[in-house]
Amino acid sequence: MDDLLELLPPGSAVAADGTLSVAGCRADELAAEFGTPVLVVAESALRDRAREYRTELAARWPNSRLVFASKAFPCTAVQRVMVEEGLGLDVAGGGEIRTALKAGVDPALVVLHGNAKSVDELTLAVRHGVGLVVVDGPDDVDRLEEIVPPGGNQDVLVRVIPGVAADVHAHVMTGHEGAKFGLAPPAAAELIARIGRSDRITMRGLHVHVGSQILDTAPFAQSVAPVAALGAFEVYDLGGGLGARYTYADRPPSVGDYLDTLVGAARQHLPRGAQVIIEPGRSMVASAAFTLYRVTTVKRGAHTFVAVDGGMGDNLEVALFAQRFEAGIANRLGGTGGERAVVVGRHCESGDVLVDGVELDAPAVGDLLVVPATGAYCFTMANNYNGTRRIPVVFARDGSARLVVRRETWEELSARDVG
C-alpha cells in the first residue's frame, strides 16, 4: 500500500476502511458523483510541481522561461493553472492555441510547434500575436512570409536535430538523426541565413527536443552542444522530455538533478546573456492524476484477467510505447490478499492491456481500480474506439471535487455523423 501511495499524487491517503482518498475526496464518492472511468487531478500537486520547476530553473539560469507543453494535458483547467502559476504555454497546433487563449494565457508567452503546421494554424498564431513560432523547415518560412503582413513581424526559433538518440521507446524519440522533427544542422544553418534576410520574420534563436519519458539526464546535456555550434542567439529553447515515475521500479531524476545537468551544459556552451526556455509536459502532470475504473469482469484461468470499464480509449500510453503502469483496488488498499492479475480494458484488441501483471487484493466485480500517474497524454489521446465516450476530468482540492471536463454524451458520439 505504501508503494502505491508513492505513485499517487501527494495528498493521497487511505481511510480506515481501506478506501483511497485524494485531497480529502474519497474515491468511492468521486465514482458515485462522476461515474467511472474518471480522471482525477490533485490540483495542489499540479501547482506545487509548476512552482518547483519555476524556482529550480530561475535559481540556476535567471534569464529563463518555463512553458508547459500543453500537449501533455491540453484542457483549459490545466492550462489555466499553469498560467496562474506564471508559466507560458507550448502549443502544437490550432486546437491547443484555442484552449490556451481560453485559459487566459498572454499570447506573447505562447510557443507554437508542429512539423506540419497548416496555413490556418500559422495564420491563427500570427493574428493572435503568438510570441514564438518554432519553424520546423523551409515550408513554415514560406508560409509565414505569405501570412505576416508588410511591416509586420513574427519572431521565430529554428528547430534543430541534435543527433541524440535517448534511451527511450522509438515512438517517443525525437532528436535522433533522421527524425521527422526539425532540421539537421547544415539545413538549419541554411534556413537561419534565409530568415536573416527576411523583412517580416525575425530569427530569435534555436530549439531542440530529444524525446519523452527520458529517465537519464545525459541526453539533455548532449543536445546542447550541437545547437550551440550553430552560432550565438538570444534564445535557446531546450525542450522538455524529463521522465515521470509510473512504476515502483522507476527512479526518474529529480527536477533539480535534471536542471543541474541541462543548465550545466548551457553554461558550458551557450552565451551567458541568452534566454533559456524549457518546455516540460509529462513530468509536470503525470503524477498529479490517476484514473479510477470500475471492475466489470474477473476471469480466472491461465491468468487472472481483471477487466475494467475503460482501457485504450482513455489510456493509449501502453499501446503507443509500452509504458508500464501499476494498479490497486481503490476500495481495499492495504489488504494482504495479493493475487497476480492482468488488468485489461474493455476494447476489442488483445493489446488493450492496462497493466500486464500486478498484485491486486482479491479483485472482484464492482471494485474500484486505481491506475496512478495518468496525468500525461491520456486525456489528450482519448478516443471513441468501440463507441466509448471520452471520460471526464475532475479536480480535487481541499475536500471538494470540481468537474472541469464532463463525460462525452451519447448524442455527441454521433453528432458528426451526418450520414
Ligand X SMILES: Cc1ncc(COP(=O)(O)O)c(C=O)c1O
Pattern 145-174, binding to ligand X, x per CB under 6 A? -----------------------------x
Q: Which of 65, 117, 204, 209 binds ligand X (CB under 6 A)?
A: 209
CB of 206 closer than 8 Å to CB of 239 = no
Cβ closest to ligand X, residue 31 vs residue 259: 259
Binding pattern to ligand X, positions 28-67, x when CB under 6 A? Answer: ----------------------------------------
Which H or E run contains 310?
A: none
Q: Is 225 helix (H, G, I), strand (E, B) or coil?
A: helix
350 Cβ contact partners less than 8 Å away, ≥ 6 residues apart: none
* Cβ distance to ligand X smaller for residue 71 or 390: 71
Least separation in angstroms between CB 72 and ligand X: 5
All three cell numbers of 279, joined, read: 518546455
Question: Among residues 4, 31, 45, 69, which is the contact residue for ligand X, using CB under 6 A?
Answer: 69
228-261 exposure pattern, b = at least 16 Cβ within 10 A, e = fewer: bebeebebbbbbbbbbbbbbeeeebbebeebbbb
Q: How far apart are CA 144 and CA 26, in angstroms?
A: 51
Question: Is 282 one of the binding residues for ligand X (CB under 6 A)?
Answer: yes
Residues 6+ positions from 288 with CB-CB distance below 8 Å: 9, 41, 42, 45, 46, 49, 375
Q: Are strands 275-278 and 235-237 parallel, antiparallel or unpaired?
A: parallel
- Among candidates 111, 147, 104, 155, which has minimal Cα distance to 127? 147
Alpha-carbon distances of 56 from 30, 120, 254, rounded to whole Å: 34, 37, 10
Q: Per-residue contact track with ligand X, 70 to 99, x per CB under 6 A?
A: -xx-----------------x---------
Residue choice 43, 140, 279, 309 for contact with ligand X (CB under 6 A) = 279
Question: 349 to 378, contacts with ligand X by CB under 6 A?
Answer: none
What CA–CA distances, in Å, run from 320 to 176, 241, 254? 19, 16, 25
Q: Can you give the C-alpha Rg of the chain in angstroms?
A: 22
Q: How far is the CB of 212 from ligand X (least distance, A)?
A: 3
Q: How far is the CB of 67 from ligand X (least distance, A)?
A: 9
User: Does 240 help bind ligand X (rule: CB under 6 A)?
Assistant: yes
**Quick check: 117 binds ligand X (CB under 6 A)?**
no
Segment near ligand X (CB under 6 A); pick from 1-9, 69-77, 360-368, 391-399: 69-77
- Active-site residue flag, 25: no
Task: Give min distance, CB of 97 to ligand X, in A.
Answer: 15
Binding residues for ligand X, per CB under 6 A? 69, 71-72, 90, 113, 174, 209, 212, 239-242, 279-283
Catalytic positions: 348
